[in-house]
Amino acid sequence: MLVVGIVAFGLFRYVGDPVMSMAGIEATQQDREELRERLGLNESPLLQFGHFIKDAVRGEFGISYRAARPVSDLIAERLPATIELVIVSSILALVLGVGLGILVALHPQSPFSRIILSGSLIGNCLPTFVNGILLIYLVSVTLHWLPSFGRGEVVAVGSWTTGFLTLSGLKSLIMPALTLALFQITLVLRLVRAEMMEVLQAEFIRCARARGLSQRAVNFGHALKNTLLPVITIAGLNIGSVIAFSAITETVFQWPGLSLLFIDSVRFGDIPVMASYLILVAFVFVIINLVVDLLYFIIDPRLRLRRSVAMTGG
C-alpha cells in the first residue's frame, strides 16, 4: 500500500508541471506563483508526501486538473458503475468457472467436456477487447438484442446510482459483464478442473470410495472442498485483475466506470485522478487478499490455531 502511495505521489509530484497544464498559456508569472502556493507545491517533498497521505486517508485526493473538481467527487460518481460491473462478472466467473470445472473434471471423457475445454482455450487466448467487439458485432449489430454501449437508465439510490433496477440497465450490463468474465471463467474452469482431477486421484478419495460412500458424498463432500483451497487464492487474486481488465472492457463498451475515467485521465495527463485510481486499486487488492486469507482460515482446519495435542502415550 505504502509503495503504491509513494509511486502515486511520485507521479503526482514529478511527472509534468501541473501548474502549466492548469493555468494555461496566457497566465502570467504571478498567477502561476499564486496557483503554486495554493496547491502547496512550494513545500518540501517530504511534507507534501505527508499531506498527500493524510488527505488520502481521509478520502481526499486533491483536485482534478482537467475537470477542476475534487477527485473524490469524480470517483464517487463513477465507482458504482465499476463495482456493479466487477461484482456481476466475478460472480459469473466463479459460478460458471467452478460449475463447469467440476463437470469437466468429473466427466473428462464426455463430448460436452471436450467442447467446453476447447471453448475455454479460445476464451483464454482471445484478448478481452476482441471478445467485446465480437460480442457487440454479433449481439448488438447483427441481432439487435442488447445495447452496444453505455449503462442504460440508472436509478439513484442515495448517492449510489444503480443499473440493477431498470430493464435497460440490466440489458446493458450483460455484455460487458460477460466479456469481462470470459477470461476469468476459462481460467477458473481450467484451474478447478486440474485441481479436482488431481484431488480425485488422492488416496483419501480412493479410501472414501472404498468406504462405499455415494458419488455425491465423494465428489462434493470430500473432493470439492479440497479442490477449492488453491482455487480460492487464484480466484481471489483474479478478482483484482478483473478490475484491471475492466479498463479495456469499459473502453470497448463505453461503460461510464472508474477505468474509463482513468483512461481519459491518462490521455489528458490528469495526475491526481491517476494517482488516486492507483491507490484505490491497490487498496482493493489488499482487501481481497485479506478476505482470501480469512477464507483459507475458515476452510482449512490445518491453519487454525493448533490445540496442543499430546501425542505420546498409548
Backbone torsion region of residue 145, taken as left when φ is above 0, otherwise alpha when ψ lies between -120 and 50, otherwise beta: alpha
**Alpha-carbon span 260 to 217, nearest angstrom:** 46
Residues 75-94 that bind other proteins (CB under 8 A): none
| Choice between 14 and 204, CB closer to other proteins | 204
Identified binder of other proteins from the candidate list 24, 111, 158, 314, rule CB under 8 A = 314
Residues 151-210 that bind other proteins (CB under 8 A): 201-204, 206-210
Q: Percent helix, strand and coil across the chain, each rounded to 5?
A: 75, 5, 25
Backbone dihedral angles phi then psi of residue 99, each to the nearest 5 degrees: -60, -55
**Alpha-carbon span 107 to 137, nearest angstrom:** 34
Q: Using alpha carbons, list the distances in angstroms from residue 166 to 74, 143, 150, 258.
A: 23, 21, 14, 21
Per CB under 8 A, does 297 bind other proteins? Answer: no
| Choice between 267 and 304, CB closer to other proteins | 304
| Choice between 208 and 271, CB closer to other proteins | 208
Per CB under 8 A, does 3 bind other proteins? Answer: no
- Residue identified by cell 477470461 is 183
**For residue 183, what are the contacts with CB-CB under 8 A and spacing of at least 6?**
123, 124, 128, 131, 245
Per CB under 8 A, does 141 bind other proteins? Answer: no
Residues in the interface with other proteins (CB under 8 A) total 31
Per CB under 8 A, does 217 bind other proteins? Answer: yes
Per CB under 8 A, does 264 bind other proteins? Answer: no
| Choice between 146 and 228, CB closer to other proteins | 228
**Alpha-carbon span 29 to 166, nearest angstrom:** 52
Per CB under 8 A, does 311 bind other proteins? Answer: yes
Per CB under 8 A, does 212 bind other proteins? Answer: yes
| Choice between 198 and 264, CB closer to other proteins | 198
Contact segment (CB under 8 A) with other proteins among 1-9, 73-81, 147-155, 305-313 equals 305-313
**Alpha-carbon span 113 to 72, nearest angstrom:** 47
Per CB under 8 A, does 276 bind other proteins? Answer: no
Burial class (CB in 10 A: 0-12, 13-18, 19+), 218: buried
Which residues would be at the binding site for other proteins (CB under 8 A)? 201-204, 206-215, 217, 221-222, 225-226, 299-302, 306-307, 309-314
